[in-house]
């Protein structure tokens, strides 16, 4: 006899930012799952344990397929999609694609100290000329393939936490930095959306996003008094906030 079809469950999907992998959610996953919420963390192509797949072809659509593929393989529904840092760009594009193919599947978008793009932007668009020049120069050392991670102290991590993140970070595919993002904002922002602002200290490359979400209607804005990697520095507080958002999204 064939197995009966599974019933899709409400779920949280966690998408890491640049230089990271699913490993960064290690302290958060047991807290969310322990609360009875099905939770998955994806590692994007070219980083983390998938760093061996780094190539010049890795672009935003590669990462869109990473996330969509996980959602489809796990037969998820009523998804709260969380994107950290760079992954704010990514979950925006995922939302656009899924709203076209499976409207209603995504129940909430959570931008965790993340980029919030406009159509036609690239990841680099809101950055200062100095930041862009630095990352372009860094990528030249790899022939334009990738750019290296910073020391984790920039995320306000120290001691064992800093060492743990530094050991695991991997270079980020560079194509993603200047690639143009294509999406329909009406489709994307029809999904409820929230921004979690990590304020102590605020990371400068997220400044444009934190100003934007406070100037546009429709955003739920939450503050956490921690650095840019709250899944490492404040896992309990982050998990509680995500569980609250998930409960309201059902």
Q: Mind telling me the catalytic residues?
A: 85
Residue 111, C-beta contacts closer than 8 angstroms, at least 6 positions apart:
83, 88, 91, 193, 194, 195, 196, 209, 213
Q: How far is CA 110 from CA 27, 67, 116, 135, 222, in A?
A: 18, 15, 11, 26, 10
Residue 34 tokens, joined: 């322990």
- Tracing tokens 């931008």 back to the chain, one arrives at 111
Specify the DSSP element, H or E, that contains 205: none
What φ, ψ does residue 122 adopt, rounded to 5°?
-115, 175
Neighbours of 236 (CB within 10 A): 11
């Amino acid at each position: 006899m064939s197995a009966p079809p599974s019933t899709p469950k409400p779920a949280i999907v966690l998408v890491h930012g640049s230089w990271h992998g699913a490993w960064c959610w290690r302290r958060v996953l047991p807290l969310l799952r322990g609360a009875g919420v099905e939770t998955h963390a994806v590692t994007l192509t070219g980083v983390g344990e998938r760093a061996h797949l780094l190539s010049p072809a890795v672009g935003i659509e590669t990462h869109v397929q990473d996330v969509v593929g996980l959602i489809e393989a796990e037969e998820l529904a009523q998804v709260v999609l969380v994107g950290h840092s760079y992954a704010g760009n990514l979950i925006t594009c995922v939302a656009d694609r899924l709203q076209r193919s499976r409207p209603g599947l995504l129940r909430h978008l959570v931008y965790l100290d993340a980029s919030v793009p406009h159509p036609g932007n690239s990841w680099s668009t809101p950055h200062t000329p100095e930041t862009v020049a630095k990352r372009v120069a860094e990528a030249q050392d790899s022939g334009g393939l990738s750019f290296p991670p910073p020391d984790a102290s920039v995320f306000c991590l120290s001691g064992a936490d800093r060492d743990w993140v530094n050991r695991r970070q991997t270079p980020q595919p560079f194509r993603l930095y200047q690639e143009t993002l294509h999406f329909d904002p009406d489709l994307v922002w029809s999904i409820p959306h929230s921004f979690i602002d990590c304020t102590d200290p605020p990371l400068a490359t997220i400044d444009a996003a934190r100003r934007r979400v406070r100037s546009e209607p429709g955003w739920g804005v939450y503050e956490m008094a921690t650095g840019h990697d709250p899944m490492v520095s404040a896992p309990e507080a982050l998990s509680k906030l995500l569980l609250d958002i998930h409960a309201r999204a059902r």
